[in-house]
């Protein structure tokens, strides 16, 4: 039987290949559209793989009897079908041959880097969570469900690596979500990397196996809501979840954790027609919606929240970076995914972007460039906001989100803020000797957004207040508390979005400068790429860590690749990216 399946599949592949070649010639001779060619290619690829066997997980999560079942379902709002959102992408004019050749050379270089590191993962860490690029070993830290493989699926598809994609899809078909290498499953990471990766790859390729596995995993994650108040747990007790006996919601979690499920669960309900996923997350977002203007910094939520008490109000610590980042990121993105038919996401989006201005500052720097940096801060008993003037690389997503919000809500001011924030993070790259920005830095804030002249005496006074200050730091930086670069994507993410929103080629040039620095600075002796322990010093070789995060292939290199791709490839008018750079179709 297996022989017959392979034989029939070979015939289909041959037929598909002939048709694709024929269509390519037709395209060349008669000018048929690229979209028609891509459509045929996807159709034939889907036909080739539609008969692949899906190995069901050893446990059926859909059959768990919940101790705390949901009540009446909240369905996805549909609204007026004639309602359309504003275009996000700029209208691009046709490029000349010189510009096209330069762009394609850059794109090929990014692809070469990706295929090299994917090849290393395939050879040394296949079906494991992450590659160890120095020792060529592997590490399982996300339940052992091949995180890098699942996370990279849509990158393989977007880069046209069809054989590698087919092989990876075959491997995905055998992942067992009924077993875990850990007794506790991280809801946040499993949602953004695994569920997001499966659904995006399905949206792009229409391979049925991917949706089947996404539903399996979605049902596992749905178990996180089997709690007394129907709020999700941060970590799923794997065995208890199987028994359906009910889970206990943690007393305090970072706000990003419960706030970063809306996009994936909304898309899963859209794909399956099952409202339970959207229903589950809608109640969580109602809690955030109702508390948004009751916090000590109205419009923003505190860094830590309690889902057990449904308290998103208490606390005076606020941040736009790690612990809260993707909560804010998902507000305009979920609004877009829902076609603008759920107005609470518009209200929350504008509310957060207005309030977040209080956590932005213009740094005092020698050249006086007009840039902005995101900060964290706290609020005193009189409501006064104090900034710590610290920027995390994780906060560099914010420029892109302001740009998206500016287009979605017709607010040009937000696009301008997004541009200055993105340039601020790019400045962070350009300032350090290896062209890479550290994880965490401090700078000196100007008193107003209008800027300030460089003042050496004032800088000296401020740096003396920072025990972490080192004399070798570039002027303008009072600390690099965490000097690492761990292959993070947030800055290139914003650069990519700014390019697609404005159409200005300056963003491509800035991105290429970043890519060259990262590619050179993180390359190992074995040709792979690894996190760097300290990017603040010029000494070579740079100290490296034996670890390659899955987001290097899933996010960082994907955003670089798309920056140098034709703008109709994964258009922002047609797709919305989750926080792990997985594109979900908006149609």
Percent of the chain with pLDDT over 70: 91
pLDDT at 30: 35
Q: Are 152 and 168 in contact (CB under 8 A)?
A: yes
- What is the DSSP code string of 173-188? TT--TT--SSSEEEHH
CB atoms within 10 A of CB 553: 26
pLDDT value for 50 = 41
What pLDDT is attached to residue 52? 58
**Candidate from 19-33, 100-114, 322-336, 371-385 with smallest mean pLDDT:** 19-33
The token pair that represents 335 in the structure block: 């609004």
CA distance 118 to 494: 24
Under 8 Å between Cβ of 29 and 50: no
Instruction: Give yes or no: 439 in active site.
Output: yes
Write out the CATH class of domain 52-585. Answer: mainly alpha
The confidence band for 544, taking pLDDT boundaries of 50, 70 and 90, is very high
- When pLDDT is averaged across residues 119-140 and rounded to a whole number, the result is 98
R_g of the chain, CA atoms, integer Å: 24
The number of CA neighbours under 13 Å toward the Cβ of 247 is 27
Give the residue from 447, 459, 461, 563 showing the smallest Cα distance to 512.
563
Q: 533 an active-site residue?
A: no
- 470 with 506: CB under 8 angstroms? no
170-190 pLDDT, tens digit each = 999 999 999 999 999 999 999
Which DSSP symbol is given to 393? Answer: G
Catalytic residue among 264, 439, 493, 580: 439
Q: Which of 490, 549, 555, 580 is catalytic?
A: 490
Mean of the per-residue pLDDT values for the chain? 92
Query: In the prediction, which pLDDT does 56 show?
Result: 87
The 3-state secondary structure of 85-118 reads CCCCCCCCCCCCHHHHHHHHHHHHHHHHHHHHHH
pLDDT digits (tens, 9 = 90+) for 506-515: 999 999 999 9
Q: What is the full DSSP assignment across 464-501?
A: HT-TT--TTSPTTEEEEEE--B----HHHHHHHHHHHH
Does 329 participate in catalysis according to the annotation? no
| Domain spans of the chain, in order of start | 1-51, 52-585
DSSP 555-571: IIHHHHHHHTS-TTTT-
Higher pLDDT residue, 278 or 78? 278
pLDDT digits (tens, 9 = 90+) for 219-241: 999 999 999 999 999 999 999 99
> Do 576 and 583 meet the contact criterion of CB atoms below 8 Å apart?
yes
Closest listed residue to residue 175, CA positions, set 136, 128, 208, 138: 128
Task: Give pLDDT, residue 37.
Answer: 35
- 47, 167, 176, 189: which one is catalytic? 189
Do the Cβ atoms of 130 and 148 come closer than 8 Å? yes
- What is the pLDDT averaged over residues 537-551? 95
Q: Say if CB 197 and CB 147 are below 8 A apart.
A: no
pLDDT exceeds cutoff 90 at 161: yes
* Rounded CA separation 299/283 (Å): 19
Rounded-to-integer distance, Cα 82 and Cα 216, Å: 34
Asked if 415 and 407 touch (Cβ cutoff 8 Å), the reply is yes
Residue range 4-46, pLDDT digits in tens: 333 333 433 334 443 433 434 333 333 333 443 344 444 444 4
> What's this model's pTM, rounded to 2 decimal places?
0.92
353 vs 405: CA distance, rounded Å: 8
């Amino acid at each position: 039987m297996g022989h017959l399946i392979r034989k029939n599949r070979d015939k289909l592949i041959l037929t598909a290949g002939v048709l694709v070649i024929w269509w390519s010639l037709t395209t060349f001779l008669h000018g048929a559209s690229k979209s028609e060619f891509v459509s045929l290619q996807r159709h034939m690829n889907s036909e080739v793989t539609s008969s692949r066997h899906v190995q069901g997980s050893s446990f059926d999560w859909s059959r768990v009897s919940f101790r705390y079942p949901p009540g009446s379902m909240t369905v996805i709002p549909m609204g007026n079908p004639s309602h359309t959102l504003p275009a996000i992408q700029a209208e691009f004019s046709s490029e000349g041959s010189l510009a096209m050749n330069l762009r394609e050379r850059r794109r090929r270089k990014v692809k070469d880097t990706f295929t090299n590191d994917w090849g290393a993962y395939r050879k040394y860490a296949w079906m494991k969570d992450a590659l160890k690029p120095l020792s060529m070993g592997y590490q399982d830290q996300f339940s052992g469900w091949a995180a890098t493989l699942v996370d990279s699926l849509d990158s393989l598809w977007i880069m046209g690596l069809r054989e590698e994609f087919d092989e990876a899809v075959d491997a995905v078909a055998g992942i067992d979500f009924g077993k875990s290498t850990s007794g506790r499953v991280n809801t946040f990471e499993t949602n953004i990397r695994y569920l997001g990766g499966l659904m995006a790859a399905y949206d792009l390729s229409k391979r049925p196996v991917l949706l089947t596995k996404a539903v399996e995993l979605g049902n596992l994650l749905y178990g996180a809501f089997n709690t007394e108040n129907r709020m999700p747990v941060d970590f799923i007790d794997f065995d208890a979840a199987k028994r359906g006996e009910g889970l206990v919601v943690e007393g305090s979690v970072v706000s990003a954790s419960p706030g970063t499920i809306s996009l994936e669960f909304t898309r899963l309900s859209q794909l399956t027609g099952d409202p339970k996923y959207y229903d589950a997350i809608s109640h969580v977002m109602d809690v955030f919606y109702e508390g948004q203007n009751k916090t000590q910094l109205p419009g923003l939520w505190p860094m830590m929240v309690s889902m057990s008490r449904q308290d998103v109000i208490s606390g005076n610590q606020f941040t736009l970076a790690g612990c809260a980042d993707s909560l804010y990121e998902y507000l305009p993105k979920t609004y877009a995914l829902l076609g603008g038919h759920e107005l609470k996401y518009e209200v929350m989006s504008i509310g957060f972007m207005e309030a977040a201005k209080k956590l932005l500052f213009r740094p005092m720097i020698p050249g006086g460039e007009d840039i902005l940096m995101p900060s964290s801060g706290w609020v005193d008993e009189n409501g006064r906001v104090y900034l710590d003037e610290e920027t995390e690389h994780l906060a560099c997503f914010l420029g892109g989100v302001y740009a998206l919000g500016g287009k979605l809500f017709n607010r040009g001011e937000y696009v301008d803020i997004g541009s200055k924030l993105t340039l601020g993070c790019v400045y962070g790259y350009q300032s350090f000797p290896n062209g890479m920005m550290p994880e965490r830095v401090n700078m000196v804030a100007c008193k107003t957004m209008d800027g300030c002249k460089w003042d050496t005496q004032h800088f000296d006074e401020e740096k003396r207040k920072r025990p972490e200050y080192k004399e070798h730091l570039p002027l303008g930086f009072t600390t690099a508390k965490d000097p690492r670069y761990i292959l993070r994507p947030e800055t290139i993410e914003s650069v990519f979005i700014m390019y697609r929103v404005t159409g200005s080629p300056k963003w491509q040039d800035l991105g290429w400068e970043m890519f060259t620095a990262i590619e050179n600075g993180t390359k190992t002796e074995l040709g792979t790429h690894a996190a760097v322990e300290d990017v603040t010093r010029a000494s070579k070789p740079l100290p490296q860590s034996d670890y390659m995060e899955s987001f290097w292939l899933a996010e960082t290199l994907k955003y670089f690749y798309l920056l140098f791709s034709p703008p109709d490839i994964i258009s922002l008018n047609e797709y919305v990216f989750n926080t792990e750079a997985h594109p979900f179709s908006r149609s």
